[in-house]
Every structure is written in C-alpha cells, then in structure tokens.
Amino acid sequence: MKRIITLVVQNRSGVLNRITGLMQKRQFNIESISVGRTEKEGISKMTFVVDVEDHRKLEQLTKQLHKQIDVLKITDLSDKAIVARELALIKIVSNASVRNEVQGIIEPFRAAVIDVSKDSLSVQVTGKSEKIEALIELLRPYGIKDIARTGLTAFSRGQQPQAAELTQYSLLK
Amino acid sequence: MKLQAETKTKSQPVTKTGADILIESLVEQQVDTIFGYPGGAVLPIYDALYRSDAEFQHILTRHEQGAIHAAEGYARVRRKAGVVLATSGPGATNLVTGIADAMMDSLPLVVLTGQVATTVTGTDAFQEADIMGITTPITKHNYQIQSAYEIPKIIKEAFHIASTGRPGPVVVDIPKDISANPCFETDQSPFHLPGYQPTFNPNPLQIKKLSEAVKQAKKPLILTGAGVLHGAGSETLLEIVEEFKIPVTSTLLGLGAFPGDHELFLGMAGMHGTYTSNMAITDCDLLINVGARFDDRLTGNLEHFAKNAVVAHIDIDPAEIGKNVHTHIPIVSDAGAALKEWKRQMKEGPQDHSAWLEELHYNKQAYPLWFNSPKEEMVAQWAIKTIHDVTKGDPIVTTDVGQHQMWAAQYFQFRKPDRWVTSGGLGTMGFGFPAAIGCQLAKPEERVIALVGDGGFQMTLQELSVLQERNLPVKIVILNNQALGMVRQWQEEFYEERYSESLVACQPDFVKLAEAYSIKGVKIESKADFENQIGELMSSDEPVLVDARVIQQENVFPMVPPGRGINDMVGVKPK
Ligand SMILES: Cc1ncc(C[n+]2csc(CCOP(=O)(O)OP(=O)(O)O)c2C)c(N)n1
C-alpha cells in the first residue's frame, strides 16, 4: 500500500542519507522524495511516498524513523485530509503548427507553457500525481524529449473532517 | 635571565587546540580509559594526550579491531560508554566490525575517528574514507565535527546518546585541521536534543495489564534479555520470581540476569537452548519478555513460537516491540524501571500454576543437557564445566564465536549479572580475547577468563602484546579442536560431511606463541592433567594461555535446525 509520510528533521549533514539508507536497509520502496526548508531555521521537511506491504511494516518504518536522532516529527498523512501537490516540467517535440493544439490540451490542466524553441515546447504543471500522469499521457503522442518531476509534497488540511467523511478527501483511497 | 624567562611564560597565551578541547571534554565525561591506535589524522589528538595531565589511561592495542572489542568488553561490565580512538581511512575502517557488533548488542561506545583536513575533504586525499557514510547504518548516531567551537557540545551529546535509551555506538569524526588549529571559543551550552527523548519509565496502566495477565496465567514464563542487565534489574527480578514463583528462561545475552543455578531457571532458550526452555516457550500461556529483542536465533521459525501465549514485551526500544512477534501487552520502558513498577503493583501471583512448575521441574530432570565424556580425552563441554567448577568465585567470562561459545552459555552457570561477555547479534569471531582485555581493565580486581576457539583466537591474537605490556592477568583458554568447529558441525549435519575448509590442522604452537610474548603457555591434552592444573592456572596473578586439546567431532546439542520451530529439536536425550 502507498503511504505519504512527512518528516520534520534537523537539517544536519547526512540526514537525507540517513533516512533513505534506513529505508533501503529495511527494504521499503521509495516512490518519491521531496525535501525543502521550513519556516524555522535549521529545520527541513521531507515528504516521502513509500510502498509498504502491510500495517506491521508501516509501524516498523515509523518506529525506525523515530529512532533517528535528527528526526523531530513523523506524520503519516495517508489517512488524513491533505493538500498534496507535485510539479512537473515536460518538454515535447513541437513546431509552430502544433503549438495551438498543445495549448488546447494543457488548458484544462491549468498548465503553462514556460519555454518555446524552434522544435520544442516546455510545459509546467502542478497537481496531484494522477493529474500529472494524465497530462503526460496526452502529450506523449507529440514526442516527449524530457521530463522533470519534483515528487509529491503535502501537508494536512487546516480543517480535518470527521472520520466518516475522510475517504473522499484522502489521496490514496 | 630569570626575569626574562618569567616574562616569556607570561607573554605566551595558553592557546588550546581543538584536540586539547577534545581531551578536556573527555575528562569532563569522566573517561578513565581510551582504547586506541595513532596515525596521521589523529596526531594532534595524540599530541594533546601526551601533553595533557589528565588522569586517564590510553591502551595501545595492536590493531584497531582489538581496541574496539576491548572497549565493548569494558562497556559491558562497567555499564558505561567505552571510548575508542583511531586514525582516518584504514584506522577507521578497521573499527567497522566492532561498531556493527556494538550496534547489534546495544553496547555504549563513543568512537573517535580522525579525518583528513577540511581543506581536502572529498578529494580522495591520502587516508580519506567516508566514515560517516560507512557507519551511518551501523551507529546509533554519528557526527562529523565542523569546527572546534562545537567539540564540547558534541562530545556531551555523543556520550548521552551512546549510554541512554537503548545504548549503542556513536561515531565522532574529527578532521585533522580542526584538532590541530588553535581554538579560542567553544560552545559550553548544555545540549538540546529535541529528536531524542527515550522513554525510561513504564506506563503504569500497561504494568497493570501485565499483573492481571500474570494472575490469570496457568503457565507463565519470563524470558530475560540483556535489557535486564542494562537496566540493572536483576535484584528486582529475583524478588519477583521468588515471591510469585514464575519460571525463567534467557536469551544468550541475558545470561546472568537471573541466577543460573536457581531452581526456577530453565537454562538458555533458542537454537541451542535447553529442551525445558524451548518447550516452556512453546507451551506457556503467558510469555513475559523482559529486555530481549526476539532475535531469530531465539525464536526459530516464528510460526511455531509461543503460539499459545499472551505475549508481554518490556523493551526500551519501541521499534523492537511487535517487530518479530505479535505482542499483546507492549511496555516501552527501561527493564529495571518496569520490573520495579511491576513489583510495586503486583499483589497476587498466578492463582494456579503448580502443575506447570511440576511439569518444568520434571523436564529439567528428565531432559538435561548431556555430552559424551571419554575417560582420558577432553571434550570442550567437560573442560568448560570443569573451569566453572574450579572457579566458584564467579569470574568474568568472555567468549569468541562458535561451538565453544554455545557450550560456555550452556555449561557456565552465571549466578551474577555482568559476568558474561559474548558477541551475540553479529557473532563476531575475534571478539573474545580483546573483549577480555577490556573487562580486565574495567574491573582490575576481578578474574577474567577468555574462552576462545583456535579459529577465532587467531583473528585477534596480536593483542597478546597488551597482556605482556600491562601484565594483565587475563586467562586465555583455547578450546582447541583444530577446526572451525561450528562450521564443521553444520557441514556434518547439513552438507553430508563435506568439510570444506573447516578442518585446520595447521596451526601455530600456541605455547611458544605465548612465550614469544613472555606469557606463560601450557598445553593440556588429557582430562587428568586438566583437572590437576586448571585450578592453579586460573588463579594465577599473571596472564596465562592454556591450549586445551579437545575432541574435534563433538557437536553442540540440542539444536533446532534452521527454519524449524524451537520445539523441533534434535539431540535431546532423555536421562
Ligand atoms: C569474523 C567471522 N568470520 C566467520 C564467521 C563464521 N563462523 C562462525 S563460527 C565459526 C567457526 C569458529 O571456529 P573456532 O574459533 O575454532 O571455534 P569453535 O567453533 O571450534 O569452537 C565460523 C568460521 C564468524 N562468525 N565471524
């Protein structure tokens, strides 16, 4: 099962290595990682999407992460109402003749063209991973030259609905 | 002239180097012994040691692996962090086995490694090794010092982390320019580790559940692990057991937490555990694990482990609870603290478990440990038992890894805690002899015996130099079967006696070897000679090496073949 786990960590050298190493050692599969600074100096936040077998393994993962001295807080967002976004840059083959057509495709995704050259065009899109994947599929026929994705980053919504309503907000269910 | 000299001393400010600050920080931690080996990247630290008038001793081992195993032995019997110092690159990589060993067996170590100067870090400079990268997965934590300013604080943190919570090794990597350069200001503020708040005391409600479960149990059983030793819980445990008559079994590392000769002690459990212990785990209806981690050498195939039991697990490391065995009553706590609270709360013991006690008592009588003992020749089991019998004074015993280790666990009945030092989790050959050096330095008054195999001893025997140099009265007993016995046993049992590279007839003359280090060496080949000499040899004030020739073909029994449940044992013999 896929889980979204965020970690608040002390921004010490080697901390990313520590965390990814631990996951590798205990055989957890990392689908994506994103890391950035927070509003507090010296504190960073990491967002992991991991694939774990079952709840027991998940419990092991969070407990092992807790043991890391530099980890201050672990949140499993998977069962919460969250806001989650990923950013992708997609470069496709394109000449003047298809530009308008592409524009039409990306518009409903609220994506933007951010670079154009003689024979290529670059699109920026943000959203949930499924949305990004959908856009990539639509652009694939034009010929994809390059893709850069940030991996998912997320936090919980300001207001958490009652447990019963949760599923509709949750990303993974 | 005199005047001049005076002004000269006055005008020279006392500039301390980073290394001086390091030494001061160690003194502040009340370090009394450092095990180490010098080299380029730690020259400033060795110079500071030389200049320092601090009280502690530096033990120069003859290999860094010897230093770290000695520090482990020291840490185990002193219940305090062992300190190791080695140079960068090869010095540091030579420590890796010991670091991993200490991590597996939860031993507190502070490991100081030199590093190339910050000006050349990352350039593959001479003797540069990424020791932070290498040791991240095998340390509780590690640090690379970025400036001398932070040395006092990091050293405080390192000792705190190593020796609290679930103990473990902490590496502090110190670049040469930082230890060499003058340092004018240091961070003396107390440390603050918001991400490290180990639980020490149990939740009383969980203890209540445990007491309730005990009351209802008809077949309760306590399993002791090294956590009882770390938490100094032996006395409380004994009080609980005596009052409520709950039988006790133990892991390999937990031996000595409960008196080995007590009528309620069933012996070690696990792969080479006693029949009584393994069957007790299989049949019990309440298993109370106090400070053990349900290692696979204990549990065997998990599908058959304690299937009829409510499992209570006291562990200071929450990650161990539920990791391997489903747990009904989790108790995150220091084992000593949990035992105290348990004793405080428990008013009534099991209501009706006399049949259980009788059954276990019967099993103990009917299926004891056994070995063949020919008239003249020695088997290792007999030799170990004999040493046990003649040293009633409860020596500290270290072992290496292999058959002799299991036999020592089986036949040396430890009556007191912190007498038993062995490499459990990693199973590191070469551990036993240097660990004994560490024990002897930690407890100069005690008698320390290293029981080693002829294979493992040859992995770290260079440390005989330390015995010679310091005249440490460590007694080395080589249980010499001219084989890598445990490997030979597995080849006999599971590989149709194809003894691939496990029969090692070629070996040094161990007596001459001892003599080369000016140590008394004795070769003993018969039971009679052993009986005649061993008492005196073991009580000598000097170091002694005994080359005890034992029969090669002996196997460690009983045994749970790999992959089987612990109730499925071979080599059990009814009396
Ligand atoms: C460093 C290391 N290498 C290899 C092994 C695998 N191993 C386990 S027991 C053993 C044989 C040990 O032989 P010896 O020291 O003579 O002791 P014995 O089993 O004969 O008592 C070996 C090779 C190990 N545990 N550690």
Task: Kindly report, residue by residue over B485-502, the tens digit of the pLDDT.
Answer: 999 999 999 999 999 999
Is B1 contained in some domain? no
Q: Give distance in angstroms: CA of A39 to centre of ligand 1.
A: 54
Helices (H), B130-264: 131-135, 151-163, 176-180, 204-216, 226-230, 234-244
Token pair belonging to B152: 């006092």
Residues 6+ apart with CB under 8 A from B413: B259, B260, B261, B388
Give the 3-state secondary structure of chain A.
Answer: CEEEEEEEEECCCCHHHHHHHHHHHCCCEEEEEEEEECCCCCEEEEEEEEECCCHHHHHHHHHHHHHCCCEEEEEECCCCCEEEEEEEEEEEECCHHHHHHHHHHHHHHCCEEEEECCCEEEEEEEECHHHHHHHHHHHHHHCEEEEEECCCEEEECCCCCCHHHHHHHCCCC
pLDDT confidence bin for A163, thresholds 50/70/90? low
Residue in A60, A69, A72 nearest the CB of B323: A60
Q: Does A55 touch chain B (CB under 8 A)?
A: no
Q: Does B317 touch chain A (CB under 8 A)?
A: yes
Q: For residue A161, what pLDDT is reported?
A: 79
Q: Does B133 touch chain A (CB under 8 A)?
A: yes
Q: For residue B208, what pLDDT is reported?
A: 97
Give the model confidence (pLDDT) of A66-124 as tens digits.
Answer: 999 999 999 999 889 999 999 999 999 998 889 999 999 999 999 999 999 999 999 99
In ligand 1, the atom with minimum distance to the C-alpha of B457 is: 15
Q: For residue B13, what pLDDT is reported?
A: 57
Is B372 contained in some domain? no
Task: Give chain B positions within 8 Å (CB) of A16.
Answer: none
Average pLDDT, chain B: 96
Same domain, B319 and B234: yes
Q: Is the CB of B427 under 6 A from ligand 1?
A: yes
Q: How far apart are CA B187 and CA B147, in angstroms?
A: 10
Which of B4-13, B72-81, B198-207, B434-443 has the least mean pLDDT?
B4-13
Q: For residue A13, what pLDDT is reported?
A: 84
Same domain, B315 and B455: no
Task: Give chain B positions within 8 Å (CB) of A45.
Answer: none
Best probe residue, ligand 1, of B378, B411, B429 (max atoms within 8 Å of C-beta)? B429
Q: Tell me, what amino acid is at B508?
A: P
In ligand 1, the atom with minimum distance to the C-alpha of B404 is: 21
- What integer is the mean pLDDT of B81-106? 98
Q: For residue B3, what pLDDT is reported?
A: 45
| 8 Å CB contact of A14 and B133 | yes
Of B63, B117, B118, nearest in space to B93 by CA: B63
What is each CA distance from B426 to A15, B83, B562, in whole angstroms?
26, 20, 17
Domain tally, chain B = 3
Same domain, B176 and B227: no
Q: Is the CB of B155 under 6 A from ligand 1?
A: no
Is residue B412 over pLDDT 70? Answer: yes
Is B272 contained in some domain? yes
Same domain, B154 and B213: no
Last residue of a domain, which of B153, B183, B213?
B183
Please tell me the distance in Å from B266's CA to the nearest CA on chain A. Answer: 32
Q: Is the CB of B481 under 6 A from ligand 1?
A: yes
Q: How far apart are CA A148 and CA B22, in angstroms?
A: 46
Residue in B136, B196, B317 nearest the CB of A18: B136
Q: For residue B405, what are the domain limits?
A: 380-549
Catalytically active residues of B are 64, 126-127, 176, 486
Q: For residue B241, what pLDDT is reported?
A: 98
Is residue A173 over pLDDT 70? Answer: no
Size of interface A-B (CB pairs under 8 A): 39
Q: For residue B9, what pLDDT is reported?
A: 47
Task: Give chain A positions within 8 Å (CB) of B318.
Answer: 63, 66
Same domain, B214 and B337: yes
Is B199 contained in some domain? no
Is B574 contained in some domain? no
- What integer is the mean pLDDT of B283-297? 98
Please tell me the distance in Å from A154's CA to the nearest CA on chain B. Answer: 22
Last residue of a domain, which of B183, B216, B241?
B183
Same domain, B239 and B97: no
| 8 Å CB contact of B195 and A72 | yes
Best probe residue, ligand 1, of B410, B486, B500, B551 (max atoms within 8 Å of C-beta)? B486
DSSP 8-class letter at B15: P
Last residue of a domain, which of B150, B183, B216?
B183
Give the model confidence (pLDDT) of B507-542 as tens digits.
Answer: 999 999 999 999 999 999 999 999 999 999 999 999
Q: How far apart are CA B318 and CA B574, in angstroms?
A: 40
Is B562 contained in some domain? no
Q: Tell me, what amino acid is at B68?
A: I
Q: For residue A103, what pLDDT is reported?
A: 93
Residue in A14, A25, A69 nearest the CB of B196: A69
Same domain, B23 and B158: yes
Please tell me the distance in Å from B399's CA to the nearest CA on chain A. Answer: 29
Is B215 contained in some domain? yes
In ligand 1, the atom with minimum distance to the C-alpha of B486 is: 19
The more confident residue out of A78 and B141 is B141
Is residue B1 over pLDDT 50? Answer: no
Same domain, B299 and B388: no
Q: For residue A165, what pLDDT is reported?
A: 54
Residue in B141, B317, B322 nearest the CB of A69: B141
Q: For residue A168, what pLDDT is reported?
A: 46
Residue in B140, B141, B319 nearest the CB of A64: B319
Same domain, B356 and B394: no
CATH number, domain with residue B398: 3.40.50.970
**Coil vs helix vs strand at B65:** helix
pLDDT confidence bin for A164, thresholds 50/70/90? low
Domains of chain A: 2-76 (3.30.70.260), 84-153 (3.30.70.1150)
Is residue B426 over pLDDT 60? Answer: yes
Q: Does B308 touch chain A (CB under 8 A)?
A: no
Same domain, B32 and B177: yes
Q: Are strands A144-149 and A82-93 parallel, antiparallel or unpaired?
A: antiparallel
Share of chain B above pLDDT 70, in %: 98
CATH number, domain with residue B321: 3.40.50.1220
Token pair belonging to B97: 């086995």
Is B30 contained in some domain? yes
Is residue B10 over pLDDT 80? Answer: no
What is each CA distance from B321 to A56, B297, B307, in whole angstroms?
11, 17, 17
- What integer is the mean pLDDT of B433-443? 98
Q: Give the distance, in angstroms, between the CA of residue B126 and the centroid of all CA atoms in the same chain.
A: 34
In ligand 1, the atom with minimum distance to the C-alpha of B479 is: 21
* Residue reference for tokens 């962090």: B81
Burial of B468 (0-12, 13-18, 19+ CB in 10 A): middle
Q: Give distance in angstroms: CA of B552 to centre of ligand 1.
A: 14
Is residue A171 over pLDDT 70? Answer: no
Give the 3-state secondary structure of B272-311.
Answer: CCCHHHHHHHHHCCEEEEECCCCCHHHHECHHHCCCCCEE
Same domain, B243 and B160: no
ω into B558 cis (within 30 of 0): yes
- What integer is the mean pLDDT of B313-338? 97
Same domain, B451 and B543: yes
**In this structure, are residues A5 and A64 in contact, taking their beta carbons and an 8 Å threshold?**
no
ipTM entry:
0.90
Q: Does B140 touch chain A (CB under 8 A)?
A: yes
